[in-house]
Copies of this chain bind each other. A is one copy, B any other.
Amino acid sequence: MTAQQSRRIVLASRPKGAPVSGDFRLETGPAVEPDEGQVAIRNLYLSLDPYMRGRMSDAPSYAEPFQIGEALGGATVGRVEASRDGNFKEGDLVLAFGGWQERSVLPASSLRKLPADLTRPSYALGVLGMPGFTAWHGLMKIGEPQAGETVVVAAASGAVGSVVGQVAKLKGARVVGIAGGEEKCRFVTDELGFDACIDRRDPQFAEKLKAAVPDGIDVYFENVGGAVFDAVLPLLNVHARVPICGLIAGYNSERPPEGPDRMPLLMGTLLKKRIRMQGFIIGDHYGPEFSEFMAEMGPWVKEGRVRFREDVVEGLENAPKAFIGLLEGENFGKLVVKLSDD
């Protein structure tokens, strides 16, 4: 191997509130050589996801915080450049946690080989990867939608929400999306086939949401929190289910909002309406359930019954700006960074 170069983006400082470009730093250095049992990978696509904001803080959470001065973590799809493990060979397409960098060296045991005929390699970071699995698990295992019920999905044009709504439709539910802006709402109804979509930026958002769910809400797939949840809460039906997948509205908050304290209101509503509210982290559920997901989702994607939109940003150097925009809802579809041509 010749001495390859690799660029990477490291965490320069922990963001206070919304991340700014100064919290990130682009570095260049020689690529590392693989040891025995390791594989060297040229990364093609990096997934940018809201959960990364949590790991930029060092508050206790469900995952280790990213370290200052080290490459940020993230899921990647890449090609094997050199392998010192019998299970992988040069040219293999792999799913890895390669991080915000152009080249990674990882233990072979941490990689998953992807089929060579994958139509779009980046789908392994989207509808057929973590976001798709998140959508499917939260909806099917916690939301448990029944035919004829009303399902409401926040962040409906996003990587997770778009899949939640399409699967709920396939299961016979009436589906109302919530998205930021008219263009996203049109996409949600016209391209994804939701029954309705309400613009959360509309000054009459709460009233319009209420009008869009005449039978109330049986399943609310929570991705957002904040003002969206405030409008949803009074519309939840008796025996509603609320999978909590994310709370992006609060990720940049440094302190709790002003009162009154509505925690008792929320608990009282859960009691009076016998609601189940359950948080989940998809990392807990890989294993046999991922195969169950792929068996259902794979054919749906192939047959075009589940559609998936990607927002592809070119070049590692543009990742920080794209990530900052992601937290503001500026992306349109699953955000991935293209790191190199295949």
Task: Name the residue among A238, A269, A274 with the largest chain B CB count within 10 angstroms.
Answer: A274
A258: chain B residues at CB < 8 Å are 259-261
Q: How far is the CB of A92 from chain B (nearest CB, A)?
A: 33
CA A272 – CA B65 in complex, angstroms?
A: 13
Copies of this chain present in the complex amount to 2
Q: Tell me whether A229 and B267 are in contact (CB under 8 A).
A: yes
Q: Tell me whether B259 and A261 are in contact (CB under 8 A).
A: yes
A246: chain B residues at CB < 8 Å are 271
Count A-side interface residues using an 8 Å CB cutoff.
42
Contact partner of A256 among B229, B247, B265, B274, CB < 8 A?
A: B265
For A251, the closest partner residue in chain B by CB is B268
Say if the beta carbon of A278 comes within 8 Å of chain B.
yes
Q: Tell me whether A278 and B270 are in contact (CB under 8 A).
A: yes
Q: Which of A110-118, A146-154, A279-287 contacts B (4 or more CB under 8 A)?
A: A279-287
Say if the beta carbon of A276 comes within 8 Å of chain B.
yes
Q: Tell me whether A270 and B259 are in contact (CB under 8 A).
A: no
Q: How far is the CB of A250 from chain B (nearest CB, A)?
A: 5
Q: How far is the CB of A82 from chain B (nearest CB, A)?
A: 38
Task: Name the residue among A222, A263, A267 with the largest chain B CB count within 10 angstroms.
Answer: A263
CA A268 – CA B270 in complex, angstroms?
A: 16
Say if the beta carbon of A273 comes within 8 Å of chain B.
yes
Contact partner of A263 among B60, B238, B262, CB < 8 A?
A: B262
Q: Tell me whether A264 and B278 are in contact (CB under 8 A).
A: no
Q: Tell me whether A261 and B272 are in contact (CB under 8 A).
A: no
Say if the beta carbon of A244 comes within 8 Å of chain B.
yes
Q: Tell me whether B62 and A267 are in contact (CB under 8 A).
A: no
For A285, the closest partner residue in chain B by CB is B274
Q: How far is the CB of A52 from chain B (nearest CB, A)?
A: 15
Say if the beta carbon of A206 comes within 8 Å of chain B.
no
CA A246 – CA B271 in complex, angstroms?
A: 7
For A259, the closest partner residue in chain B by CB is B259
Say if the beta carbon of A61 comes within 8 Å of chain B.
yes
CA A260 – CA B256 in complex, angstroms?
A: 6
Among all A-B residue pairs, the 6 with the closest Cβ atoms: A259-B259, A271-B279, A270-B279, A256-B260, A262-B263, A276-B278
Q: Given A244-B267, A257-B261, 15 other A-B contacts at CB below 8 A?
A: A62-B238, A62-B274, A222-B267, A244-B270, A247-B264, A250-B264, A256-B259, A257-B260, A259-B259, A260-B261, A263-B263, A263-B266, A269-B279, A274-B279, A274-B284
Q: List 30 A-B contacts (CB under 8 A).
A: A62-B238, A62-B272, A62-B273, A222-B267, A225-B268, A244-B271, A246-B271, A247-B264, A247-B268, A247-B271, A250-B264, A255-B260, A256-B259, A256-B264, A257-B259, A258-B260, A259-B259, A259-B260, A261-B262, A262-B262, A262-B263, A263-B263, A266-B266, A267-B277, A267-B279, A270-B278, A270-B279, A271-B279, A271-B281, A275-B279
